[in-house]
Structure 1
């Protein structure tokens, strides 16, 4: 999610000898952060019984309802009187807006039934031979009823995933492999720690910061190697995360955000009473920001190392100024990334609000718009401040001018 800058320092830059004082100070600070992360994981890690107590109260469907897969045998066009499908064609027959399927696996295997589908599904390109998931509901004293649940997309998604892995490994080689390992670890932290901890009512901000710290420690060192340069980037990322989290909390309180703005939040509100939605928003803000912050801080740390290797006579102040010139370009391009990513995820909401034609100051009163504004501004400020923070840390850590290690220059 970056601007295409190189994160790899040259061999000459990697051979720079960092003085013992700055190195121990940096590593000591990171060690304290690591200890705090471990404590956070131990304290916040939910017990399996607590998670089960929450999830056991929630049933996705009524008892006996199953979701077998079925093969599509026939597809009827959307009914001509249905205006919500957006298709140009239509049918007025009794079977319009339906598909005929045969259950291939699961309960009811071999049953052939006709189920109605939304007009969007009829117009989506669904064809004979595709696989869908149907909802099978048992009925006392009668044949079970079937309804369309969704289209099976496992195969194309697996193909796309395989293409992604192949491209990453082919282009980035071992660094790509390590990056993929980091992605898998990040998903594991979110799935096995962050989500259960949030479900049992733990502080959203504490969970978000702990999960982010655990992810960053593993991802940065795995992908970029154990070095003082990587440690500098990690310290700068932590600083940016703390700024982002702090601004998110202040912005949430100042704007009186409640954290409930979409259907998923409404479902959670009804099923998980102890969930703190304001804290959930803060956690989401922290997790969403670490990727862009990581890109910026690694670039800045590498830039400072390269500058020092290329110009050993420059003072620390000059190294900082030179690194900031690179950072300003990176800030400009990455800010666009943040804005467009958030705008893309909220595009449907923006379309609906644009359709209403309300004044902008009225739109700002809606939870949806305010959440995106706070999310974008807090992340952007944290990103911008992470650049001088990381550059400053790196300028203090790299060797002094002409190989001298004295800090005051």
Structure 2
């Protein structure tokens, strides 16, 4: 147990170091505001700020930068002495150092939030909680190091997503529950539910003629980056990856219930086990489907507000691709979750009988 604890802590530290090392660029650095002069021209506001570079080749150098606040944008914030910012440093034709403020520096606050999360996990989850954090970190590495590079190389995003999903499912269950009969059943149920969600998403994406080009992020990738990939497949890969978490939770819950029933009542038969799994699944489904759908709705609140403001009818709104994709994403994930319940109940009831 102590060895597992130490390995988990070492993994988290190494993961943090990898992320920090890979995110560093010598000309895109962290700086601290040491002086601010507020100015205004007509209705626009700007600030002349002096910053001290905190890292990189120009560490400890002081640079004056003119910063404009832009209403109704991500740059609608004012700077003050002590603010941490991200700046891009360059040299002009006269070899003079110039810099632009790219964004406010948020990582210190997010690190604090991450520490609070880890403390909560350690207090209430103990070793299981730490292993779940380790599993989450490995999932992130798989997505960043395997899935993203393969998609950028032109591989089919759907196939890549399925392979990476299976990897994530295998590693997560084995890490958290060990390679036991219970985890094997949960793996089968999760893979089955995820594949069902993927097949449904593929079918209705084709039926609804989804292009995958409706979002601003995709427009940016095409116009600014010049990226040429299968954006429809990219959307489908997002549906598959997005459905894993809740499906894993449902599969493990159903499996654990059936195994516990069998251990408490060894003579209980397949039919009763199956029925118990389905009954528990109904209660789990009611909350999980709500959680899944509301998570997608919550992430699209500005979008729904826009359509509400334009007084669009329901039929007009759902015909918009940007709305249709959210409906496909949430409903296909929910159906995959629902069908995981009978699938896992059936597999667990058969395999626990042979125990």
Judge same fold: TM > 0.5, yes or no: yes
Note the C-alpha offset of 1:127: 3.1
- For 2:280 and 2:232, how far apart are their aligned partners in 1? 36
Distance 1:122 1:369, change over 3 A: closer
Which residue of 156, 163, 181 maps to 1:228?
Answer: 181
State the Cα deviation string for residues 386-407 of structure 1 (Å, max 9, x = none): 001001111111127xxxx7xx
Secondary structure in 1 aligned to 2:28? coil
Question: 1:5-404 counterparts in 2 under 5 A?
Answer: 66-72=27-33, 73-74=35-36, 76=38, 81=43, 96-105=45-54, 106=56, 109-119=61-71, 124=77, 126-141=79-94, 145-270=98-223, 271=225, 273-399=227-353
Tell which has more relative contact order, 1 or 2 (C-alpha 8 A, sep 6+). Answer: 1
- For 2:227 and 2:85, how far apart are their aligned partners in 1? 34
**Which consecutive residues of structure 2, in runs of 5 or more, have no partner in the other structure?**
1-24
State the Cα deviation string for residues 62-114 of structure 1 (Å, max 9, x = none): xx9933433222264888846xxxxxxxxxxxxx3325232323466212333
Query: Are the equivalent residues in 1 in contact too, given 2:48–2:64 (CA < 8 A)?
Result: no
Query: Are the equivalent residues in 2 in contact too, given 1:69–1:104 (CA < 8 A)?
Result: yes
Secondary structure in 1 aligned to 2:212? coil
Secondary structure in 1 aligned to 2:353? coil
Secondary structure in 2 aligned to 1:100? strand
Distance 1:289 1:77, change over 3 A: farther
- For 2:40 and 2:123, how far apart are their aligned partners in 1? 44
Note the C-alpha offset of 1:169: 1.8
Query: Are the equivalent residues in 2 in contact too, given 1:67–1:135 (CA < 8 A)?
Result: yes
Larger Rg: 1
CA RMSD of aligned residues (A): 2.4
Count of aligned positions: 325
- Paired position in structure 1 for 2:9: none
- For 2:205 and 2:75, how far apart are their aligned partners in 1? 42
- For 2:333 and 2:37, how far apart are their aligned partners in 1? 46
- For 1:194 and 1:272, how far apart are their aligned partners in 2? 20
Note the C-alpha offset of 1:249: 0.3
